[in-house]
Structure 1
Amino acid sequence: MIFLPLPFVVALLLLILLVVMLRGDEPAKRNWAFLALVALCALQSVVVGLRWGYDVTALRFALPVLASGVPPLVLASFHSLIGCEERNVPGAAWVHATPTIGALMLVLLAPRYIDFALIVEYVGYALALLNLARPGTDALGEARFEGAVAAHRALVIAAFSLCLSALFDLAIILDFEWTKGANIGLIVSNANMLGLLFIGLTAMVADRARALPAVNAILDEEPTPEPQDREILDRIDHLLVSEKLARDENLTLSRLARRAGLPARQISTAVNRLAGKNVSQYINDFRIAEACRLLRETDMSVTSAMFESGFQTKSNFNREFRRVTALSPASWRQQSRAEKIAGSQ
């Protein structure tokens, strides 16, 4: 009977996930950081399977180097979903290459410290991800408003996945201290299965939230004078209603900022102050209002009203509809028509 190590199964699942992501996206829409992350996780799973499933000891030096590349790619992947003005940090790519270079040096010169270094790296990047998630969905300026909530959750899950991997690294160190590495294969296999699979799945969820790139979009690099919050919202409302920007399913905070000629941070702050909600909820309020109009004034199906108002997934549409109206779309239409009949009598 052929023995198939569990990490190989994880690698197969990740490769299937990678193919789905590649086939589901147009070339212009592909987020190469997310794709590279899933590919690296799959490669790491294969190496883990060969090392601990078939005892290919020559690969023991490759594992920590590959593992050190995961956290920077996770952070880079989610950085691609934040606003452009937030992510243009000179030399950032070189900074995030440091862990892999450092891991390679430790493997060659001081291998006994590599596990400690990986724990520090994984926890450090987990904290960086949580800091990125701290402002809420408005931090993900390049994520479609419809997918911002899911992307934000994926960001938090990715951070905890890195912490989980760090805990497994700590377990490896303790296992060497207490049992001379008797359980190392089991620990590594489980760590690989849980950590990498979680990271791969969160990458897919977050990748789906990324909008199509805007055509000929030009960022205003000049600092914009800070207007009053009411003026900002009036300008945003005009774009959403008069120019029907709310119906754009690929609308993001960054695109909205470009159309309004305002920094994304000012828009987010103004919405938070005056409306008491995040930008995603504010935009969805306009979409739900349009959906209600269509359900009330036309015989359009609920699904058609969903698409016409700017939503792309039924789950998000139903959730936001209930948030705004406390009813399902079908129940709201039925109640609205009953009120209309009662009012005409």
Structure 2
Amino acid sequence: MIFLPLPFVVALLLLILLAAMLRGDAGHKGNRPFLALVALCALQSIIVGLRWGYDVAGLGYVLPVVASCLPAFVLESFRNLSHREQAETGAVWIYASPPLSIVALILVSPGLVDIALILLFVGYALVLLNLSRTGPDALDEARLEGAGAAHRALLIAAASLCLSALVDLSVLLDFQWSKGANAALIVSSANLAGLLFLGLTAMVAARERAVPVSAAAADRASSTAEDRDILDRIDHLLADQKLARDENLTLSRLARRAGLPARQISAAVNRLARKNVSQYINDFRIAEACRLLRESDMSVTAAMLESGFQTKSNFNREFRRVTSLSPASWREKNRAAGRSEA
């Protein structure tokens, strides 16, 4: 029987995932960092399979170099969803310095390689958490309908980097205590789970990225009156100009149409509405969907599309968040109430 290491199975799943992303809407130019991340995860899985499944010892020097590239690609991918971070993402050092540092350690002090990888993964995980600290509004290039999902993917990616650091620590201790007797098992299970999680989160986040647009933004102080004016301007765009129906609507695109800085819109919504921009827009869309369900005979799917949602899962989740009912149940209840009043 042919022995197929688990890392090869994970690599195959990641390659299938990559093919699906290339065939779908996630394959446009703006999502190249996500595509590169999934490809890198697949490559690392293959190398792990060859190293620990077939005992190709020479790849033991290649594996830490490839692994050191991973955190930078994770960070760059999610920065790609943040317009405010784009100015920082073009620096070559964000990709080059980690692998170059690991190569230098392999040549000079191999015993420090595992420790360096642990610090690298934890460090980048902390940077990701810092990026996520303001919630979904931090990802202002993500479609507002799916900004929450992209934000959750960001947190899972940070957790996956921490998992990889924990695996490296376990392997390091295993070599210290039992000369690596359990290293293959550790690497072939927990670490690969982290790679698969990264690939899946990359797909989720990539799907929520809209076609990039450029916008100039400058922060300025905002009073309550200014906040009210901002929300009135946003409401006008959403209602009168039907901007809520734009499936690629993002915070930066909304800011461009309103002629305002994205951070100023986010701050105004947070202060007055006590929610993030994604929730504010989705509340508006749900209100429109409720109107359509109450006043017309169109199907739930048609009302979903007409109000600006593109996927049933997001629509049903947001509808329940706002109304505590499913769309069909809400329609039945409100039509029954209307008949009783008549």
TM-score per shorter chain, which class?
over 0.9
Q: By how many angstroms is 1:90 displaced?
A: 7.3
Matches within 5 A, 1:306-321: 306-321=304-319
Q: By how many angstroms is 1:221 displaced?
A: 5.4
Q: Which residue of the partner structure matches residue 284 of structure 2?
A: 286
Q: TM-score, normalised by structure 1?
A: 0.94
CA distance in 2, matches of 1:318, 1:27: 27
Q: By how many angstroms is 1:26 displaced?
A: 6.5
Q: Which residue of the partner structure matches residue 321 of structure 2?
A: 323
Which runs of 4 or more aligned residues in structure 1 lie more than 3 Å from their structure 2 counterparts after TM superposition?
26-30, 90-93, 221-227
**Residue 220 of structure 1 pairs with residue 216 of structure 2:** yes
**Matching residue's letter, 1:135:** T
| Superimposed CA distance per residue, residues 84-121 of structure 1 (whole angstroms, 9 cap, x where no aligned partner) | 23331276442442111111111222211100000000
- Residue 339 (structure 1) aligned to one of 314, 337, 340: 337
CA distance in 2, matches of 1:148, 1:27: 18
| Superimposed CA distance per residue, residues 102-157 of structure 1 (whole angstroms, 9 cap, x where no aligned partner) | 11111222211100000000000011111111111111100011111111111101
Q: TM-score, normalised by structure 2?
A: 0.95
Q: Which residue of the partner structure matches residue 123 of structure 1?
A: 122
Matches within 5 A, 1:114-153: 114-153=113-152
CA distance in 1, matches of 2:30, 2:50: 31
**Residue 239 of structure 1 pairs with residue 241 of structure 2:** no
Kindly indicate whether the alpha-carbon contact (under 8 Å) linking 2:217 and 2:260 is maintained by their aligned counterparts in 1.
Answer: no
Sort the Cα spacing of 1:327 and 1:27 in 2 relative to 1 into closer, same or farther, 3 A.
closer
* Matched position secondary structure for 2:212: coil
* Matched position secondary structure for 2:210: coil
Query: Number of aligned pairs?
Result: 340
* Matched position secondary structure for 1:295: helix
CA distance in 2, matches of 1:19, 1:223: 40
Which ranges in structure 1 are unaligned for 5 or more consecutive residues? none
| Superimposed CA distance per residue, residues 190-246 of structure 1 (whole angstroms, 9 cap, x where no aligned partner) | 1332111111111111111111234xxx52356667561111111111111111101
Q: By how many angstroms is 1:343 displaced?
A: 2.2
Kindly indicate whether the alpha-carbon contact (under 8 Å) linking 2:21 and 2:27 is maintained by their aligned counterparts in 1.
Answer: no
Matches within 5 A, 1:187-266: 187-214=186-213, 218-220=214-216, 226=222, 228-266=226-264
Sort the Cα spacing of 1:255 and 1:176 in 2 relative to 1 into closer, same or farther, 3 A.
same
CA distance in 1, matches of 2:128, 2:325: 35
CA distance in 2, matches of 1:71, 1:205: 18
* Matched position secondary structure for 2:249: coil
**Matching residue's letter, 1:179:** S
Q: Percent of aligned pairs with the same residue?
A: 69
CA distance in 2, matches of 1:52, 1:90: 34
**Matching residue's letter, 1:43:** L
CA distance in 1, matches of 2:84, 2:45: 35
Which ranges in structure 2 are unaligned for 5 or more consecutive residues? none
